[in-house]
Amino acid sequence: MNELARADAEARERALDPQRSILLQAPAGSGKTSMLTQRFLRLLRTVEEPGAILAITFTRKAAAEMRARVTQALRGQSAADDPCAGELRALTAAALRHGAARGWNLAQDPGALRIQTIDSFTHWLASQLPIAARAGGTLRVTETPQELYRRAARRTLLAAEADAVLGADTELLFERLDNHWNNLERLLADMLGERAHWLRYVLQTGPGQLCARVNASLEHIIRDHLAAAGAALPPALLLAAQQLPGVGALGGDPAHLPAWKRLADCTLTGGRWRVRLTEELLGPAYAQAPAREALRSCIAQLSRTPGSAQLLQAVAALPAAALSAEDEAAIAALARVLEHAARELHVEFAEAGRVDYTYVTGAARAALAEAGLPTELALRTGLAFSHILVDEFQDTSLAQFQLLESLTAAWQQGDGRTLFIVGDPMQSIYRFRDAEVGLFITAREHGIGNVRLTPLRLTRNFRATPALVDWSNEVFAQVFPAADELRAGAIAFSASVAARLPAERSPPAHASVQLRLFPGDRDAEARSIAARISELRGRAPEARVAVLVAAHAHAVPIVNVLRTAGVEVLGVDLVPLAQRPIVRDLVQLARALHDLGDRSAWLAVLRAPWCGASLATLTALSGPEDPQLLWEALADAARLARCAPRDLARLVRVRDVLARALERRDSGPAADWLEATWVQLGAPDAYPRAELGDARVFFSALAERAAAFEWRGPEDFPALLQDLYSAADAAGANPVQVMTIHRAKGLEFDHVLVPGLDRGVGAGERPLLRWIDLPRERGASDLIVAPAAAIGEEGGGELNAFLAGLLTTRARHERTRLMYVAATRARETLHLSAAPKMKSGGRLDPDPRSLLACLWPALAERFQVQAPAPGAPAARRAQALPLRRLSDLWRPPQLPAAEPLPHLPLERSSIEAPEFSWVGETQRHIGTVVHALLAQIADAPALPTGAQLQAQRDAVLRQLRRAGVPEREAAEAASLVLTALARTLGDERGRWILGAGHPEAHSELALTGVTAGRLRSVVIDRCFVDEAGTRWVIDYKTSRHEGGSLESFLDHEMQRYQGQLSDYLALARSLGPQPVRAALYFPLLGAFRELS
């Protein structure tokens, strides 16, 4: 056993010490999840309740995997080939014995284990305080907040027209953006999405204090750089450099920065030591030969000092220690605009009844800390947990790091509580999600809050062959930074040792990794990928093969060639739904029906396959500066007479369908109305069957958004479609999987191919404000803020240039880590390829933003350049897609008449329909709003007063209108909603149902299970355990009785819903050992009926 293997065995043993807080660095393939599982099982033996252990991670997928591993271990279902199977069995047996003595049954009740995502945990925290009420009650998180950001940005710009101060601030921003309204609105909306970075500085300090904070950070950064430069130079050399003409004192004070910059300027040019020393290049101070000789001697000494060129370059790039007056004015103006936009966003949250994850995280932090001190909730919650485990810690943001600090604020050294942090900084690739890899270094060196962590590192790789492990060690040791550096986001490489033994027929190292270049020929690269996959499949059809790309667009040529070659392909989240033709046509159809004046949408509707009008027809119906709407032109006989004769019948058919659709607009759910129109146009027969799945995804997303009151019209389509992808075509049992590298993190494959290494990644639009919160070694941070440069302004000044350079460096380090993640997904072989364009003279300089540039220093000589194969087909030119249209003979299918269904005999009283004026869609919406508000009241810390209820009238009206209640019925509907709430709160039984003191209380509790031999999914309006230990299941009914006996009506309603309540009872019995009772509650009547 070599030194790395021995260190690994010791680290794994120490990681199970239940008395020690640990930071465990677990590289790719080291069995991180297995170690988490073992630690969790070991800790179960130390607690009296399983809920005293909290395990959190950053994705649902990771949380589900951790929960599955622990549950499988408890049930004795761990994989037989798990290298830690023996340890797992022993730990599981001990945990089960400990649990059995305390009445646990974790194998059958894994819900008692607290294994969750950081988002769900922060949501729970935020819901514990009245801060939740600031968003209108229960915190309901929207997955698509972008439209809310856009609306808040627009409200801010509109408010500026009536506010002199805000107007002056926005005017300054307009000047920097060439008076482009849409650009400023979009950039403001983007900033709201990133407000976790800047909001606390904007709200907690005035613009002047914000600028002072930036100045202090700049001074701190400059001191650090100058101290490092001064320490690196020998004293004699430093003295000689100070005596050079025009240089001056080279100390560590920011006031000495100009002298250091002058030294860099006269000794370096283009990042290299100066060779030509002339008066023309250096100025009059170097007109005399002795001055030039002194400089030459200084350059010679500097060139012999390791790292001096890099240090001087870094010093030369530093900005001044204080913001310029122009930058201060821009930052102050932007701070005021952003503060107003943030407040407008809270108004949008309140109106929509939804918040985003940033709000939840901020609310959770507010719940845990006040004025820098832990709150009572923080102390209570932190002390409730004996142990906290955090997975994927390299992806932690600064806000999440501070959350952990608050959560452990009450912990004391030696009190038996432990923090177990696991991650791999070499796999930190989520900077775009605010991940700050430097926090891993900070935690390793200085702990988290009061908790000091013992750093351990795993080194055994159970995934890859020895040849692949050796290749990774050799290559990535050369391309990763030599040392960790907080500000630059630099992480040094840590080597691994292969745990797998070499197979008897294992390929040699050079065969395990293939490196191919196809200069300027991307088609040849794609054909090579297809040939390689066919070769691999020919040898081992059962092997799992993946093609990993840095960006979605890079996969398109590969997928096309693989399908042409007959290779079964599964594209995983590759094609955005918004880019699919069938969805683009649907979006244009909705836009046209909502706005008769949207000419581009109407042209798209007539060109879509359900009509397929020719260009000649479209020209006849719509011309430049045409005063007639296209919809009007469709009814104009003179315009129709100029259309192509073959198109006339289709135009008339489409016009008639759209006319009926316009008549029915707003008469029902948006998704149902749009889908019915689409079907009547013949669309399902106009597209290939394989594309119809995308339409189903679109309609489902639209229906879900509308049901959540988050749909306001076609302007919401970008937010609706943002994170939706075309459904993957599931081919055979073992297709080649094509996905992004980010998507592949956490997965492994026998063979991995990574094409397109030459393509640049990571470029994006410049924001209104560039900022970075750089962690310091001991927990504090340096905030650097730079406003966007004005249109046409070259570089944007030295502060912008410094910040841009720093962000570029951090992005370069992350690309190296992204390449490491891609390479370490492979178990057996790795294939890397690129198709870079050659420079003059056959020189190849990779795009600095590409993965190839990361590998080039180590592998430039090893890539094999592939010459074009004789007779290889030339690259195909892009061809226009043929016009797709329905057959001229298409007619709507004639559906058979519905078969009459037998009805059960009805009592006479049930045949006579009560005369309820509110029956219909409006009553359904009243019920929806009442249910939602009762859930909010139940989750609030205290019941509202009558005055507080009446103050909600405007909010209730907004919700009803958004649901589609006609204006003429909205006022009466709002009165009914408020009446239902008032009667419930005025009723003793109603207050009891909504009371906050019940154990295990839930509103809108979703349950799924089998009752009466059928799988059912239900949502229970209110469920709790009362003071007598009985679990209650309450279902709200917003029925209103007019005429007849109230008791008879209630009995009839109970009979009507008896089956539903019985299902609820059956499912609720699985929640615990308590007896279960069920009842209906009628908010409009203040009445209660229990199921007998």
Is 874 within the bounds of a domain?
A: no
Same domain, 930 and 982: yes
In this structure, the chain runs to a length of 1092
pLDDT at residue number 257: 94
pLDDT at residue number 897: 64
Q: Is residue 914 over pLDDT 50? A: no
Cβ neighbours of residue 488 under 8 Å, at least 6 residues apart? 481, 806, 809, 810, 813
Range name among 34-48, 136-150, 709-723 with the lowest pLDDT average: 136-150
Q: What is the pLDDT of residues 403-425, one digit of tens each?
A: 888 888 888 888 889 999 999 99
pLDDT at residue number 58: 81
Angstrom distance (rounded) from CA 178 to CA 931: 49
**Residue showing tokens 């008879």:** 1048
Is 978 within the bounds of a domain?
A: yes
pLDDT at residue number 917: 33
Joined together, the tokens standing for residue 635 give 């009814």
Q: Is residue 788 over pLDDT 80? A: no
Same domain, 702 and 775: no
Q: Grade residue 909 by pLDDT with cuts at 50, 70 and 90.
A: very low
Q: Grade residue 913 by pLDDT with cuts at 50, 70 and 90.
A: very low
Cβ neighbours of residue 510 under 8 Å, at least 6 residues apart? none
Is 119 within the bounds of a domain?
A: yes
Q: What is the pLDDT of residues 1082-1091, one digit of tens each?
A: 998 889 999 8
pLDDT at residue number 911: 30
Same domain, 713 and 778: no
Q: Grade residue 125 by pLDDT with cuts at 50, 70 and 90.
A: confident
Angstrom distance (rounded) from CA 61 to CA 850: 29
Is 619 within the bounds of a domain?
A: yes
Query: What is the arithmetic mean of pLDDT over 794-800?
Result: 74
Angstrom distance (rounded) from CA 924 to CA 755: 54
- 978-981-982-983 Cα dihedral, nearest 10 degrees: 120
Q: Grade residue 796 by pLDDT with cuts at 50, 70 and 90.
A: low
Range name among 538-547, 802-811, 851-860, 873-882 with the lowest pLDDT average: 873-882
| Cα-to-chain-centroid distance, residue 461 | 29
In a 3-state reduction of DSSP, which class is residue 587? helix
Q: Is residue 471 over pLDDT 80? A: yes
pLDDT at residue number 138: 58
Q: Grade residue 154 by pLDDT with cuts at 50, 70 and 90.
A: very high
pLDDT at residue number 131: 43
Q: Grade residue 43 by pLDDT with cuts at 50, 70 and 90.
A: very high
Q: What are the DSSP calls for 369-400, one per residue?
A: EETTEE-HHHHHHHHH-SEEEESSGGG--HHH
Provide the percentage of residues in the chain whose pLDDT is more than 70: 89
Same domain, 586 and 524: no
Q: Is residue 509 over pLDDT 60? A: no
Angstrom distance (rounded) from CA 172 to CA 166: 10
pLDDT at residue number 614: 92
Same domain, 698 and 777: no
> In this predicted model, which residue has the larger pLDDT, 194 or 241?
241
Angstrom distance (rounded) from CA 726 to CA 916: 45
Same domain, 587 and 689: yes
Backbone angle region of 739, left / alpha / beta, with phi > 0 → left and psi within -120 to 50 → alpha? beta
Query: What is the arithmetic mean of pLDDT over 582-591?
Result: 94
Q: Grade residue 822 by pLDDT with cuts at 50, 70 and 90.
A: very high
Q: Is residue 876 over pLDDT 60? A: no
pLDDT at residue number 899: 55
pLDDT at residue number 963: 67
Helix axes 797-823, 325-352, angle to 10 degrees: 50
869-895 as b/e: b if 16+ CB within 10 A: eeeeeeeeeeeeeeeebbeeeeeeeee
Q: Is residue 906 over pLDDT 60? A: no
Joined together, the tokens standing for residue 356 give 């985003």
Query: What is the arithmetic mean of pLDDT over 626-653?
Result: 92
Range name among 331-345, 649-663, 788-802 with the lowest pLDDT average: 788-802
Round the average pLDDT of the chain to a whole number and report it: 85
Q: What is the pLDDT of residues 674-709, one digit of tens each?
A: 999 999 999 999 998 878 889 988 998 898 888 777
Joined together, the tokens standing for residue 451 give 């908790």
Q: Is residue 1069 over pLDDT 60? A: yes
Q: Is residue 510 over pLDDT 60? A: no
Nearest to 984 by CA among 954, 951, 1018, 1022: 1022
pLDDT at residue number 904: 37
> In this predicted model, which residue has the larger pLDDT, 818 or 1052?
818
User: Hey, what amino acid is at 514?
Assistant: Q
Query: What is the arithmetic mean of pLDDT over 338-357?
Result: 88
In a 3-state reduction of DSSP, which class is residue 24? strand
Same domain, 1072 and 968: yes
Angstrom distance (rounded) from CA 1017 to CA 609: 39
Handedness of CA 301, 305, 307, 312 (dihedral sign): negative
Same domain, 763 and 842: yes
Q: What is the pLDDT of residues 961-972, one digit of tens each?
A: 666 677 667 788
Q: Grade residue 831 by pLDDT with cuts at 50, 70 and 90.
A: very high
Q: Is residue 778 over pLDDT 80? A: no
Q: Which CATH number fits the domain that encloses residue 558?
A: 3.40.50.300
Same domain, 667 and 781: no
> In this predicted model, which residue has the larger pLDDT, 368 or 565?
565
Q: What are the DSSP calls for 206-267, one per residue?
A: -HHHHHHHHHHHHHHHHHHHHHHHHHHS-HHHHHHHHTSTTT----SSGGGHHHHHHHHHHH
Angstrom distance (rounded) from CA 611 to CA 604: 10
Is 819 within the bounds of a domain?
A: yes
Domain range spanning residue 1002? 921-1090
> In this predicted model, which residue has the larger pLDDT, 816 or 869?
816
Highest mean pLDDT among 481-495, 784-798, 955-969, 1039-1053: 481-495
pLDDT at residue number 503: 66
Same domain, 709 and 746: no
Same domain, 757 and 712: no
pLDDT at residue number 918: 35
Joined together, the tokens standing for residue 126 give 């935020």
Is 1070 within the bounds of a domain?
A: yes
Is 566 within the bounds of a domain?
A: yes
Query: What is the arithmetic mean of pLDDT over 296-309?
Result: 92
Domain boundary among 670, 688, 721: 721
Same domain, 962 and 1080: yes
pLDDT at residue number 35: 92
Q: What are the DSSP calls for 349-369, one per residue?
A: HHHHT-B-HHHHHHHHHHHHE
Q: Is residue 901 over pLDDT 50? A: no
> In this predicted model, which residue has the larger pLDDT, 563 or 522?
522
Joined together, the tokens standing for residue 401 give 């790091």
Is 287 within the bounds of a domain?
A: no
User: Hey, what amino acid is at 72?
Assistant: Q
Highest mean pLDDT among 179-188, 365-374, 1011-1020: 179-188
Angstrom distance (rounded) from CA 449 to CA 1069: 43
By the 8 A CB rule, do 259 and 250 touch? yes
pLDDT at residue number 1048: 82
Query: What is the arithmetic mean of pLDDT over 943-965?
Result: 78
Q: What is the pLDDT of residues 319-340, one digit of tens each?
A: 999 988 888 888 888 888 999 9
Query: What is the arithmetic mean of pLDDT over 897-907?
Result: 46
Domain boundary among 817, 834, 865: 865
Q: Grade residue 905 by pLDDT with cuts at 50, 70 and 90.
A: very low
Angstrom distance (rounded) from CA 496 to CA 473: 7
Instruction: Kindly state the DSSP code that residue 871 receives in the 8-state scheme.
Output: T
Range name among 84-88, 388-392, 896-900 with the lowest pLDDT average: 896-900
Q: What pairing do the DSSP bridges indicate for beta strands 268-269 and 272-273? A: antiparallel
Nearest to 468 by CA among 8, 747, 822, 739: 822
Q: What is the pLDDT of residues 206-217, one digit of tens each?
A: 777 888 888 999
32-66 as b/e: b if 16+ CB within 10 A: bbbbbbbbbbbbbeebeebebbbbbbbbeebbebb
Provide the percentage of residues in the chain whose pLDDT is more than 90: 42
Q: Is residue 264 over pLDDT 50? A: yes
Q: Which CATH number fits the domain that encloses residue 662?
A: 1.10.486.10
Q: How many domains does the chain have?
A: 4
Query: What is the arithmetic mean of pLDDT over 67-93?
Result: 80
What is the largest distance, in Å, between two alpha-carbon atoms of the chain? 119
